[in-house]
Structure formats: structure tokens, C-alpha cells
Amino acid sequence: MPDLAFLAFLVVDGALAGAIYALAALAFVVVYKASRMINFAVGEWVMLASRMVASGLHGFGFGLGGALGLACVGMVALAMAFNRVVLRRLFSQSLLSSIMVTIGLGILLRGSAAIVFAGIPSRITSPVPLEPLVIRGVPVSIDKLVAAMIAGACIIGLGWFFHGSRTGLALRAIATDQQVAMAVGIDLHRHFAIAWALVGVLSVVAATLGSVVLGGGFGIGLLGLKVFPIVIIGGLDSLLGTIVGALVIGILESLTAGYIDPLVGGGFSHVASYVVLIATLLVRPYGLFGRPDVERV
Amino acid sequence: MNVPALLEIEDLHVSYGRIRAVQGVSLTVPDAAIVALIGANGAGKSTLLRTISGIVRPRRGTVRFLGEDLVGLPVHQIARRHVIHVPEGRGMLARMTVLENLRLGGFARSGHARALELDRVFALFPVLSQRRGQLAGSLSGGEQQMLAIARGMMARPRLLMLDEPSLGLAPLLVREIFRIIPRLTAEGTAVLLVEQNARMALQCAAHAYVLQTGRVVLSGPAADLLATPEVQRAYLGAG
């Protein structure tokens, strides 16, 4: 491949992967936006969702639609139960205890998934052709392209939900000031449940697209590790920032994998995003799109 | 006269830990009236409002609204009964637009009712109509106070509780706010007004209560209180 075409291939391939990362990152951002809570277990949520889709396909013999439906029901049920049983009890405690409990749940999910889903294949096969499309000498894999388009549609839908719907307005109000939100008649716990249900659905979509494109199994949980550099770059609560952050990380990984990994014997592409994460924290601790808290007195 | 008052508070006691903020307060707000609550800092005025809106739970006593005891109800349930609290410091959602803040005020209502209310609120506060697309944080202090009251009005409150609406405003804007408050009652809203600016409050209210260290020390028609020597000495700065 000529140099320029190789570069174009890496950029496009990275951006398409970035669109899927964005979905996982948004699962994180939705909860942060509504409750200032940091979910350290996004990777485990996505992993569990991918196992549920896979068992729908291979365990129950459903089609892709049925498997997705099954996983959505399962994940939303888990999310609502987690919110109702665990987080609601911790509501009056410090935020830190809620954050720690997400880590605990992550470990629990990882451990129990290995037992519950033992023996069930984890692959989710692509329903679209595998031969890449070649556009002006640059190969573009069709499954990645389709996955990125689905991810893009979900992101647009989510943007509308937050900025165009009544429930989205309420969630944004809760994120800014819970007292004000309650004072206008918003039921906080009901809206936290809605935010967590969204996490469940986003996990299923991210898991399915991620498994098809990046390979399934427990490795899909690694998607969770990409979330932190993305949201730090994006500024934690900005939808647009998250999308840009995800594309940056996707392309960065792809470029370092293409150019630097062969020189150092591989592996740098996995670390590169963390180098950027640390650099961002040093220069703009509130992210490229986040705003430092300014208060008018 | 057996018509129940809009709000009837009886023997209310509120404590923060060992500090007794409100000690046996009883007060009544008639329908569509303005009732002022005056007193020094720390007299328990804000605590009283916070108790009515459910943020704080009383140790003892009842808060009856249209005959129903509000004590123990969650904050959002009390708001949905059209008892609306505009807190001190206005509670602006600075990064949302004026329109979004107002929509939020009408959160518990249907889309149609919200649209009608928006017209009414813009008629009361024309300046907000001009600024509807602006971020709330970019408004001046006086405009933010108007937005806070307007957001409260979006819920079509039966009882609107205003905590220090004149705080930090220039005299001209204070007068503007006090010109608007009586107009709210024309919409069928009763106003419970907590104010440091006792003169302005007593001039626009029908009834008033004077609070001192958590107790009601004086109450009656606002015009009478305005003429009471004790009130003049303690709160109106007269020699």
C-alpha cells in the first residue's frame, strides 16, 4: 500500500473503532451527567452485555434481534435493580461510597459471568460481508463501517434525548442542582433509574458492535479501559466532548499501532491513550470540552 | 368562617442537631394573600420555608396545606401540590437557557398547560421573553431573581415561598421586584415572603409575622405592624 493510502486506512479504521468506543464512553457519561457518579465498571457492564447477547445466539438459538432483545431486558433489569437495591440505599451517604460500590459490582460481574456463561461461545458473527470495500485504494471494512453508522445513530438519538426531551431536561437539571430539580417536582430516584436503564441499553449496543468488530469474549471488557482517556479528554459530562475524545483515541490507537508498534515490537498502541490522558490532566484538568466550575456570586 | 386556610402551621419545632431553629411556630396563610415573615438573621425564617417545602423535617408539629399534612412527604411531591419554594440565592441553572429554566419550572405539568403558562409568565416578566435564548448565568442579578420567581410561577403555585428576593439587588430593582409580587396574587397565588427588607415587605403584605430566635413574637395585619413602635425600632431603623 502506498504511504498516503496506509495513513488514510489507519485514520479511517481508527475513527470507525472510535465510534464504538464512544458508545461505551456514553454509558459512562449518562450516569455521570445525572448523578455525578463515576461508574468504574463500564468494561464489566459491556462484557456482561456481550455475554448475554452471545448466550441468546448460541445458548437459546435466537436470531440477532431476539438475542439483542434478551440482552436489553437482562441488562436493564440489572441496572434498575442495582440502582434500586444498592445505590438508593447509599444515596444519603458520600458519593465516594457509591463510586466504590461500582468497583465492587464490576468484580462481582466479572467473577460470576465466568461461571454463569461457562461453555457458551462468546463470538457474535457479523451479518454483513467481510470483504472490505476499497475506496480510492483505501480498504474500509464493511462491518466496521456499519457498526460506526449504528453507533452514530445511537449518539444522535442520545443527543436529542438530553437536549430535546422533557426527561433529558430533567436529567440535566438533576446533574446541575439536585435541590432545584426536586423543588420543581422532579422525582430524583425515578430519573436515576432511567439513567441506569440507558446504561444497560448502551452497554448492549456497544458490546454487540464491539464483539462483531473487535472480537468478543472477556476481551471486550477492555473497552472499559478506553473509556477513561476518552471522558477525561472530553471533559466527563459533555456529549460532544465524548464523541471527539472517542474519535481521537480511536485514531491515535490506530496510528500508533500502524507506525510505532512495528518499531518497538508492539504494545505501545495500548498505552498511547494513557499518555494522552496524563497530558490532558496536566494541561486542562477539566478536559478539552469540559468547563471549569465558575460561580457567579 | 369555616373555610380552611391555604396553609396552616401549628406548633412547629425544627432542630438542626442540638440547635433549635424553630420553636413552636404557628402561622396561617389565607388563599391568594401575601404574608410576610420578618426577623433578624438566624431567626428561623428560612428554616420555616425549608420545612414547608420538605427539605427539612420538623421534630414536631403539622404543616397543613388545604387540610393535608405535608410533613414527611418528599420534596418533589410537595412541589407537585403546587407549593413552590424559590430559595435564597435563586437556584439558577446557570448553564441552561432562560427558556429551559422556565420549562423546567413547569416540569410536572402537561405540554399544553406549560405553553399557556409560558405566555402568562412572559406577560409578567417581559424582559425574560427578550432573553429567552440566553444562558441564565449571563443574566444580571435582578433578571436572575425575576427568572427564579418566573420559574416558580410556571408550576402555577397555590403557594409561592420567596426567600429574600431583594437580596443583593440595587434599590431600583428591589422596587421592581416588589411591584411584581402583588401581581402574582392576581393569578390566584398566595405568597409567603421572607425578607430582610422589612419596610418593603410590610408595605406589600396583608399579614405579617415577626420571628425572633425561632418564635413568633408579633403578628397581625402588616399595616398595624408597620406602625408598632417595637417593629419600627428593631426592623425599620427608626430611632
Q: Do B79 and A182 touch (CB under 8 A)?
A: yes
C-alpha span between B53 and A56 (Å, rounded): 49
C-alpha span between A183 and B190 (Å, rounded): 17
Look at chain B and report how many structural domains it folds into: 1
Q: Do B95 and A296 touch (CB under 8 A)?
A: no
Q: Is residue B129 part of a domain?
A: no
Q: Does the CB of B142 have a partner CB in chain A at under 8 Å?
A: no
* Distance between A179 CA and the closest CA of chain B, angstroms: 8
Q: Do A184 and B74 touch (CB under 8 A)?
A: no
User: Closest Cα to residue A70, out of A54, A82, A56?
Assistant: A56
pLDDT value at residue B4? 66
DSSP, residue by residue, A137-178: TEEE-HHHHHHHHHHHHHHHHHHHHHHHSHHHHHHHHHHH-H
Counting residues of chain A whose pLDDT is more than 90, the rounded percentage is 37
Q: Which of residues 173-232 of A touch B (CB under 8 A)?
A: 173, 176-177, 179-188
Range A124-130 average pLDDT = 74
User: Closest Cα to residue B6, out of B216, B183, B207?
Assistant: B207
pLDDT value at residue A291? 65
Q: Does the CB of B79 have a partner CB in chain A at under 8 Å?
A: yes
> Which stretches within chain B are classed as H helix?
45-52, 75-80, 98-105, 111-124, 126-130, 141-153, 171-185, 198-204, 222-227, 229-235
pLDDT value at residue A295? 45
Nearest CB to A296 within list B79, B137, B155: B137
* pLDDT tens, position by position, A5-19: 889 899 999 999 999
Which helix (H) or strand (E) is A264 found in, with range? helix A261-264
* Distance between A278 CA and the closest CA of chain B, angstroms: 28
Q: Which residues is B10 bridged to in the sheet?
A: B62
- A131 C-beta neighbours (distance < 10 Å), count: 8
Q: Are A252 and A276 in contact (CB under 8 A)?
A: yes
Q: Do A184 and B55 touch (CB under 8 A)?
A: no
Nearest CB to A176 within list B53, B84, B95: B95
Q: Are A34 and A171 in contact (CB under 8 A)?
A: yes
Contacts of A176 in chain B (CB under 8 A): 93-96
Contacts of B53 in chain A (CB under 8 A): 183
Q: Do B94 and A166 touch (CB under 8 A)?
A: no
| A297 has pLDDT over 50 | no
| A259 has pLDDT over 50 | yes
Q: Is residue B226 part of a domain?
A: yes
3-state SS of A169-220 is: HHHHHHHHCHHHHHHCCCCHHHHHHHHHHHHHHHHHHHHHHHHHHHCCHHHH
Q: Is residue B123 part of a domain?
A: no
Q: Do A182 and B75 touch (CB under 8 A)?
A: yes
DSSP reduced 3-state for B215: strand
Q: Which of residues 276-295 of A touch B (CB under 8 A)?
A: 291, 295
Q: Is residue B135 part of a domain?
A: no
Helices and strands per DSSP (H, E), number in chain A: 13, 2
pLDDT value at residue A134? 83
pLDDT value at residue A252? 93
Q: Is residue B217 part of a domain?
A: yes
For the CA atoms of chain A, what is the radius of gyration? 19
Q: Does the CB of B96 have a partner CB in chain A at under 8 Å?
A: yes
Q: Does the CB of B57 have a partner CB in chain A at under 8 Å?
A: no
Q: What angle do CA B156, B150, B186 make, to 5 degrees?
A: 55
Distances in Å between the alpha carbon of A22 and those of A164, A199, A245, A253?
Answer: 20, 13, 8, 14
Q: Are A188 and B109 in contact (CB under 8 A)?
A: no
Q: Is residue B103 part of a domain?
A: no
Chain A contact probe: residue of B56, B70, B93 with most A CBs at under 10 A: B93
pLDDT value at residue A131? 76
Nearest CB to A185 within list B55, B96, B108: B108
Q: Does the CB of B133 have a partner CB in chain A at under 8 Å?
A: no
Give just the sign of the alpha carbon dihedral A199, A205, A210, A211.
Answer: positive
- Strand A138-140, strand B34-39: pairing: unpaired
| Residue B211: DSSP 8-state | E
Task: Give φ, ψ of A216 to 5 degrees.
Answer: -95, -150
Residue B191 is which amino acid?
Answer: V
Which helix (H) or strand (E) is A37 found in, with range? none
Cell numbers at A110, concatenated: 466479572
pLDDT tens string, chain B, 239 residues long: the values are 455 689 999 999 999 988 999 999 999 999 999 999 999 888 999 999 999 999 999 999 999 999 999 999 999 999 999 999 999 887 888 889 999 999 999 998 888 899 999 999 999 999 999 999 999 999 999 999 999 999 999 999 999 999 999 988 999 999 999 999 999 998 889 999 999 889 999 999 999 999 999 999 999 999 999 999 888 888 887 64
Q: What is the CATH number of domain A3-283?
A: 1.10.3470
Q: Are B9 and B26 in contact (CB under 8 A)?
A: yes
Q: Which residue has the higher pLDDT, A160 or A116?
A: A160
pLDDT value at residue B99? 95
Range A43-64 average pLDDT = 89
| B161, closest residue in chain A (CA to CA) | A183
* pLDDT tens, position by position, A176-202: 888 899 999 999 999 999 999 999 999
Confidence band, pLDDT 50/70/90 cuts, at residue A296? very low
* Distance between A173 CA and the closest CA of chain B, angstroms: 7
| Residue A291: DSSP 8-state | -
- B47 C-beta neighbours (distance < 10 Å), count: 24
Q: Which residue has the higher pLDDT, A106 or A288?
A: A106
Q: Does the CB of A240 have a partner CB in chain B at under 8 Å?
A: no
C-alpha span between A166 and B98 (Å, rounded): 15
Q: Is residue B74 part of a domain?
A: yes
Which helix (H) or strand (E) is B25 found in, with range? strand B19-29
Q: Please give the ipTM for the structure prediction.
A: 0.87
Q: Which residues is A138 bridged to in the sheet?
A: A135
Chain B contact probe: residue of A88, A165, A177, A184 with most B CBs at under 10 A: A184
Q: Which residues contact B140 (CB under 8 A, 6 or more apart)?
A: none
Q: Does the CB of B171 have a partner CB in chain A at under 8 Å?
A: no
Exposed, middle or buried: residue B119 (CB in 10 Å: 0-12, 13-18, 19+)?
A: exposed
Supply the CATH number for residue B192's domain: 3.40.50.300
Q: Does the CB of B183 have a partner CB in chain A at under 8 Å?
A: no
| A112 has pLDDT over 50 | yes
Q: Provide the residue range defining the domain that includes B218.
A: 7-92+157-235
Out of A27-41, A62-76, A125-139, A215-229, give the one with best mean pLDDT.
A62-76
Q: Are A42 and A246 in contact (CB under 8 A)?
A: no
Q: Which residue has the higher pLDDT, B22 or A138?
A: B22
Exposed, middle or buried: residue A100 (CB in 10 Å: 0-12, 13-18, 19+)?
A: middle
- Strand B159-163, strand B190-195: pairing: parallel
Q: Are A50 and A208 in contact (CB under 8 A)?
A: yes
DSSP reduced 3-state for A107: helix
Q: Do B84 and A296 touch (CB under 8 A)?
A: no
Q: Is residue B152 part of a domain?
A: no
